[in-house]
Amino acid sequence: MYADMQYFDTLDSEQKTLSIRLVAALIMFFIALSLNLSRIVLFLSFFIPYTLIGYDVLFYAVKNILHGQWLDERFLMSIASIGAFALKDYAEAFAVMFFYQLGELFQSIAVGKSRKSIEELLSLAPETATRLINGTEETISPEEILIGDTIVVKPGERVPIDGRIIKGSTSLNTSDITGESAPVEVAEGDMIYSGSINISGSILLLAESEYENSTIAKIMDLIENSAGKKSKSEKYITRLARYYTPFVVVSAVLLSTIPPLVLNEAFLKWFERALVFLVASCPCALLISIPLSFVRGLGTASKHGILMKGASELEKLSEVDTFIFDKTGTLTEGSFTVSDVHSDNVDKDSILEISAIAESQSTHPIAASLKEACLKEPDISRLGGVTEHAGKGIQATVDNKEYFIGNTALMELVNADYKECSFPDTIVHMSKGNDYMGHIVISDQIKSKAKNSINKLKGQKIERIIMLSGDRKPVVDATSKTVGIDESYAELLPTDKVEITERIMHDGNKVAFVGDGINDAPVLTVADVGIAMGALGSDVAIEAADIVLMDDNLLKLPLALSIARKTMRIVKQNTTISLAFKAAVLILGAFGQVEMWLAVFADVGVMILAVLNSLRTGHMKTNTQ
C-alpha cells in the first residue's frame, strides 16, 4: 500500500484528479448497483457517477462539434453512453465512460514516462557560469554571457557557452550532447561546446557566442520541438482516420436503417447495435500507442546523439533504400595535411602564407589545413574582400592583389593555365589573377569507422550506396574503393550534387543524403532525408537537415536506421493488431453479439498490449564503438 502511495505521488495533478474521480465514481456505481431504487432515483444514482468521470469528455465532445471536428473518440464515447442511458442501460452507460477514462489515465501515465526520458536530456542546460573580470570571479547566469567574455570552467562543471580555450587543458565528457561515451581531450586553442562536462582540469574560455545562439540552446530547441510536440506524430493517425472514420460512420448509419427495413424488425434494436458498433469502432489503442511509439523512438535516438526532427522524419528514414554520402568531412576526417607544394616560379613559403591569409575566414576543412601548414600566424590585416565559390574554392584579395585558390574548375573559371598533378591526392591550385602560381598537395584520412558503417548498411539491405564529391576523380575513386562504395561521382559542384540526388530520387529510390553541412546544405534539403554529421557547432547543418548526428561517428547511421525501422515496425504491428481486433468486434457488434461495455473493455485490453509493445523501442542493441 505504501508503495502504491509512492507511485501515486509520481503522478501529475491532472492524473491524480482523474484517478480520484475514477475511484469515487466506481464506489458510487457499486452502491447504486446494490440498492433497490425507484426509477428516477435509480437514474440519478448512475448519472451522478457518470458525470463525475465523464464531464470533461462530454464537454470536449460538444466543443469539438462546434468546431466542426465532430468525429473524434470523445464524440463516439458521448454518443454511445448517452444512447445507453436512453435505452435505460444505466450500468452500461457508466461502464463505457469508466473504461474510456481508465484508458486515458493509463495513456497519460505511459506517455508521461517516455517524455520524462527526453526531459532528462533537457536538464543538460548549464545553470550558472563563472566570469573572470579583472582577475576576480563572478557567478552569473549563462544568458548574461557576452561574446568575448572570459569564462572559467572548473572540473565537474558543465561548459556554459561555446568558446575557445585560452588557457589550460582538460578532458571533456560530451556524452550528453553527442551520445559518445569516450572522453575528448582538449587544449589551448580548441573550440569547445556548451553542454559538455569538464572532467579533469580547470580551463579559461573565450566566449564565442551568446547563450541563445549556443550549441546547447539549439539542441534543446530541437529536442523540444521534435519529441515534445505530439502533433507531428499524429500525421500518421490523421492519414488512417481519413479512410477509417467515414467508413465507420457510413456503416453505422446503414446498420441502423437498412436491416430494420429489410427484415421488418424494430428500429430500436438496430439503433442499439449501431451504437455498439460506433463505440467499438473507436481506435483508442491506435490513438494512444502510435504517438507513444514515436516519442519512444525519438527519445531512444536522442539518447545516442541522433536528433530526428520529428515523427515524419523518422518514418521517412525507415523507408530509405539508398544512401548518398558526401566525401570530405563525412567519410573522411576532413582534416587535411599539406604534404607538398609544387611551383615553378614562386617559393613555397609565400604560397602557403598567402593561402593561409586568403583562407583565414573560410570554414571549409581545406582552409583549416592551409592555416595549419603556414608557419606564421596569418596576418589578417593584409586580407581584403573574400568570395567563396562553393565546390570550387575561394577568391580573395591579399595585399591588394586578387588570388584564386581552389580546384581546376576555379582555374578554368579565371582562365589560368594550370598544371595537372599526378599525385592521387587533393590538389589546391593557386593563381594571382589568371597567372598560375602552382599547387598545394594535401591529403585527408578516411574515417576509421567508414568501412564498417557502409558494411552494416549493406547488411541492413540498403540497395544502393553512392558517393558524391567535389574532389578530383583519383582521390574519389581511391576513397570509394577503400570504404566499399561501388558508385561514385567526382568533380561535382553543389548544384550537380542536387541534380544527381534528384535523378536518383526520380528513379523511385528513397534517398538519404549524409553530409557535413559544408557546401551541401542544398542537397541536405532536397533529399528525402537529409542527415548532417558532426553537427556540433554547425548552424547550417542543424537547420538544413532532417536528422542531425551530433558527433562524427559514422556507426550512428546504421543505428539510426535500425531505431527508425524498429519504431515503424512496432507502429505497424500495433496498427494491424488493433485494426484486426476492431474488425472482429465490429462484425460481432453488427450481429448483436457484443455488449457495449465489453467492446470498450476489450479495447482497453488491446490498448495495454499496444502500449507495452511501444515500450520495446527503448531496448535495442546499440554498439557504436
Beta bridge partners of 489: 468
Partner from ligand ADP, Mg ion, none contacting 426, C-beta within 5 to 8 A by type: ligand ADP
Q: Which stretch binds Mg ion (CB under 5 A): 167-175, 179-187, 368-376, 514-522?
A: 514-522
User: Among this protein's residues, is 326 annotated catalytic?
Assistant: yes
Give the contacts of 376 (CB within 8 A, at least 6 positions apart): 353, 356
Which of 194, 300, 302, 407 is the binder for ligand ADP (CB under 6 A)?
407
* Three-state SS letters, 563-604: HHHHHHHHHHHHHHHHHHHHHHHHHHHHCCCCCHHHHHHHHH
Q: Which stretch binds ligand ADP (CB under 6 A): 20-28, 44-52, 404-412, 532-540?
A: 404-412
Partner from Mg ion, ligand ADP, none contacting 469, C-beta within 5 to 8 A by type: ligand ADP
Which of 45, 78, 214, 328 is the binder for Mg ion (CB under 5 A)?
328
> What is the rounded CA–CA span in Å between residue 598 and residue 396?
77
Asked if 328 touches ligand ADP (CB under 6 A), the answer is yes
Asked if 326 touches ligand ADP (CB under 6 A), the answer is yes
Asked if 393 touches ligand ADP (CB under 6 A), the answer is yes
Q: Which amino acid would we find at residue 181?
A: S
Q: Which stretch binds ligand ADP (CB under 6 A): 15-23, 187-195, 206-214, 359-367?
A: 359-367
> What is the rounded CA–CA span in Å between residue 543 and residue 618?
27
CB of 406 to ligand ADP, least distance (A): 4
Q: Is 203:229 a contact under the CB 8 Å cutoff?
A: no
Q: Which is nearer to ligand ADP, 308 or 427 (CB)?
A: 427
> What is the rounded CA–CA span in Å between residue 237 and residue 196?
38
Q: Which is nearer to ligand ADP, 470 or 558 (CB)?
A: 470
Give the contacts of 446 (CB within 8 A, at least 6 positions apart): 331, 332, 333, 479, 482, 483
Task: State the distance between the two ends of the chain, measured CA to CA, in whole angstroms.
Answer: 45
Residues of this chain, 142-201, that bind ligand ADP according to CB under 6 A:
none
Q: Is 326:365 a contact under the CB 8 Å cutoff?
A: no
Partner from Mg ion, ligand ADP, none contacting 273, C-beta within 5 to 8 A by type: none
Q: Which stretch binds ligand ADP (CB under 6 A): 294-302, 358-366, 446-454, 539-547?
A: 358-366
Which of 196, 501, 519, 617 is the binder for ligand ADP (CB under 6 A)?
519
CB of 471 to Mg ion, least distance (A): 9
Q: Is 552:542 a contact under the CB 8 Å cutoff?
A: no
Helices marked H in 374-530: 408-413, 450-459, 473-483, 494-506, 521-526
The torsion of the CA quartet 208, 211, 215, 220, rounded to 10 degrees, works out to: 180
Partner from Mg ion, ligand ADP, none contacting 393, C-beta within 5 to 8 A by type: ligand ADP
Q: Is 163:205 a contact under the CB 8 Å cutoff?
A: yes
Asked if 92 touches Mg ion (CB under 5 A), the answer is no
Evaluate the CA torsion angle 519, 366, 515, 536 in order and state its sign. Answer: negative
Residues of this chain, 423-442, that bind ligand ADP according to CB under 6 A:
426, 428
Q: Which is nearer to ligand ADP, 391 or 537 (CB)?
A: 391
Q: Which is nearer to Mg ion, 497 or 565 (CB)?
A: 497
Q: Which amino acid would we find at residue 271?
A: F
Give the contacts of 335 (CB within 8 A, at least 6 positions apart): 365, 368, 369, 444, 445
Partner from ligand ADP, Mg ion, none contacting 429, C-beta within 5 to 8 A by type: none
The residue with its CB nearest to Mg ion is 328
Catalytic residue among 149, 162, 326, 552: 326
Asked if 391 touches ligand ADP (CB under 6 A), the answer is yes
CB of 361 to ligand ADP, least distance (A): 9
The C-alpha angle 76, 79, 80, rounded to 5 degrees, equals 80
CB of 513 to Mg ion, least distance (A): 11
Asked if 326 touches Mg ion (CB under 5 A), the answer is yes
Q: Which stretch binds ligand ADP (CB under 6 A): 158-166, 447-455, 466-474, 589-597?
A: 466-474
Q: Is 188:165 a contact under the CB 8 Å cutoff?
A: yes
Asked if 329 touches Mg ion (CB under 5 A), the answer is yes
Helices marked H in 264-364: 267-281, 284-303, 311-319, 348-358
> What is the rounded CA–CA span in Å between residue 609 and residue 413?
64
CB of 326 to Mg ion, least distance (A): 5
> What is the rounded CA–CA span in Å between residue 532 and residue 546?
8
Partner from Mg ion, ligand ADP, none contacting 289, C-beta within 5 to 8 A by type: none
CB of 197 to ligand ADP, least distance (A): 32
CB of 338 to ligand ADP, least distance (A): 12
Partner from ligand ADP, Mg ion, none contacting 394, C-beta within 5 to 8 A by type: ligand ADP
The footprint of ligand ADP on this chain (CB under 6 A) covers a number of residues equal to: 23
> What is the rounded CA–CA span in Å between residue 63 and residue 161?
46
Q: Which is nearer to Mg ion, 329 or 522 (CB)?
A: 329
Q: Which stretch binds ligand ADP (CB under 6 A): 156-164, 267-275, 385-393, 412-420?
A: 385-393
Buried b (16+ CB within 10 A) or exposed e, 102-111: bbbbbbbbbb
Contact map string, positions 518 to 547, toward Mg ion, x by CB under 5 A? x-----------------------------
Q: Which is nearer to ligand ADP, 72 or 477 (CB)?
A: 477
Q: Which is nearer to ligand ADP, 217 or 531 (CB)?
A: 531
CB of 241 to ligand ADP, least distance (A): 43
> What is the rounded CA–CA span in Å between residue 572 and residue 315?
11
Instruction: Look up residue 261 and give its DSSP letter.
Output: H
| Structure-block grid coordinates of residue 228 | 515534445
> What is the rounded CA–CA span in Å between residue 563 and residue 616?
11
Give the contacts of 564 (CB within 8 A, at least 6 positions apart): 297, 301, 308, 314, 315, 317, 318
CB of 444 to ligand ADP, least distance (A): 9
Active site residues: 326
Residues interacting with Mg ion, by CB under 5 A? 326, 328-329, 516, 518
Interacting residues with ligand ADP (CB under 6 A) = 326-329, 359, 362, 364, 366-367, 391-394, 405-407, 426, 428, 469-471, 518-519
